[in-house]
Structure 1
C-alpha cells in the first residue's frame, strides 16, 4: 500500500517555522543619549529652516524686476486752449481793451497749472480771470476770460495774421511754455478790436 505523507526537509533545509520572531526590545536611552537625540533633532530642524530661508532669499533676489511705470505726459501734449467768443462791448467798455472767453482743457494725466499767459506784441498787455496761477484737472475744462489791452498803438499790430498766446504750463512732469494759435476767427476779432482801439491814433 502506498501513500504520500508530509514532506521531510532535505539536507541543508529546515521546515518553515510559522512562529513569529521574538519582538526586539531597543535599549532604553539614558539621559545623555536622550539629550543628544534632542540636540540632533533641533539641529536638523534649524538646518531645514535655514535651507528654506536661503531658497526663499534666492527666489526673491532672482525675481524679475517690475517695469518702471510710464512717466506722465508733458503738459503741452495734453492741454488745449480753444477760442470761444468775444465778450459783448457795452457803453462802459474801455475802448482800448479786447475781452474774450476761451476754454482750457486737459485731456489726461495729472492736473496742469497755468503759471503765466502772455502774447508777443509789445503794445499789448494781458490779464486773465481767474488770475494766474490756476489749476485744471483732466476731464474738467476751465473757462477763462482773457483781456488784451492796448498800451501803445505804435507797437500793436493793425492786422494780426495768426496771433497766438504764450501759456506757461506745469505738471508733475515738466514746466513748458507753449504757443497756442487760436484760429482765424480770433485773428479777425482781434484785428477789428485793434482798429477800433487805435482808430484815432496817428501812429
Structure 2
C-alpha cells in the first residue's frame, strides 16, 4: 500500500547547511510569501537607486542649455524716434565748409538704448556728433544731438538732397541694429542749402 507523508531528507543531507526542505504544510506558506515579497521590494529599491544615480550623472555631465533669447523685449529700432530740430551755428574758428544741425533722439519704451555710431550716405561728407558715440538714453527720455558735417569733396555731394537720411547704430538689451532715419523735407531743404553755400559752383 502506498502512503503519502512528510518528505524525509535524503541520505547524507540530514543537517547539511544547504539542505532546504520544502515547507511541510500550510502554516509555513505565509512565511514563504513574506520572504518573496521582501526580495522583490529589495530588488525594486536597488533598481531605483541605480536609475537615480545614472540620471544624476547624465544631468551633471550634460552640456549647458543655451541662454534663452529675451523675445519679450522690443528691438531698439522699434522704440527710438529721431526728429529734426533745425540748423545751429558752428563755433568760431571752425574750418570752412562745415555746418551743423540739431536732432532729437527719444526712447519711447523698453530698455535703455545706446547709440554706438552715426553716419550719412554721401561720400563727400564727414559727420561727427555731440555727444560723441557711444551714448545712452533711458526709456521715456529724449536727448538733443548736434550733428556736424564737413564737406571733404564737393564733387561727391549732391546739388539737391532729395530724401537725405542718417544711419544710426542702436543697441539695447535684446539686439544691435542699424536704422536709417529720414528727417523730412525741412532737413532736406536745409542740407541742400548748406551744401550750396559750402561748395558754391563746385557742386555737380
TM over 0.5: yes
Q: 2:120 is matched with which residue?
A: 119
Matches within 5 A, 1:72-111: 72-88=73-89, 92-111=93-112
Q: Give the drift of 1:158.
A: 1.3
Q: Give the drift of 1:95.
A: 3.5
Partners of 1:199 and 1:70 in 2: how far apart? 51
Q: Give the drift of 1:94.
A: 4.0
- Is 1:173 the counterpart of 2:174? The answer is yes
Give the TM-score, by structure 1 length.
0.63
Q: 1:190 is matched with which residue?
A: 191
How has the CA–CA distance of structure 1 residues 200 and 107 changed in structure 2, closer, same or farther, with 3 Å as cutoff? same
Assess if the C-alpha contact under 8 Å between 1:95 and 1:196 holds in 2. no
- Is 1:157 the counterpart of 2:158? The answer is yes
Matches within 5 A, 1:41-80: 71-80=72-81
Q: Which runs of 5+ in 1 are unaligned?
A: 1-67
Partners of 1:179 and 1:202 in 2: how far apart? 25
Q: Which runs of 5+ in 2 are unaligned?
A: 1-68
Name the SS for the 1:72 alignment partner.
coil
Q: Give the drift of 1:140.
A: 1.4
Q: 1:131 is matched with which residue?
A: 132
Partners of 1:186 and 1:160 in 2: how far apart? 9
Query: Residues 113-163 of structure 1, C-alpha deviation per residue, up to 9 Å, x if partnerless?
Result: 001100111100010000000000111101110001110001111110000
Q: 2:37 is matched with which residue?
A: none
How has the CA–CA distance of structure 1 residues 73 and 143 changed in structure 2, closer, same or farther, with 3 Å as cutoff? same
Q: Give the drift of 1:90.
A: 7.2
Give the TM-score, by structure 2 length.
0.62
Name the SS for the 1:125 alignment partner.
strand
Name the SS for the 2:189 alignment partner.
helix
How has the CA–CA distance of structure 1 residues 155 and 109 changed in structure 2, closer, same or farther, with 3 Å as cutoff? same
Partners of 1:167 and 1:160 in 2: how far apart? 19
Name the SS for the 2:74 alignment partner.
coil
Q: Which has the larger radius of gyration?
A: 1
Aligned length: 136
Q: 1:60 is matched with which residue?
A: none
Assess if the C-alpha contact under 8 Å between 1:114 and 1:135 holds in 2. yes
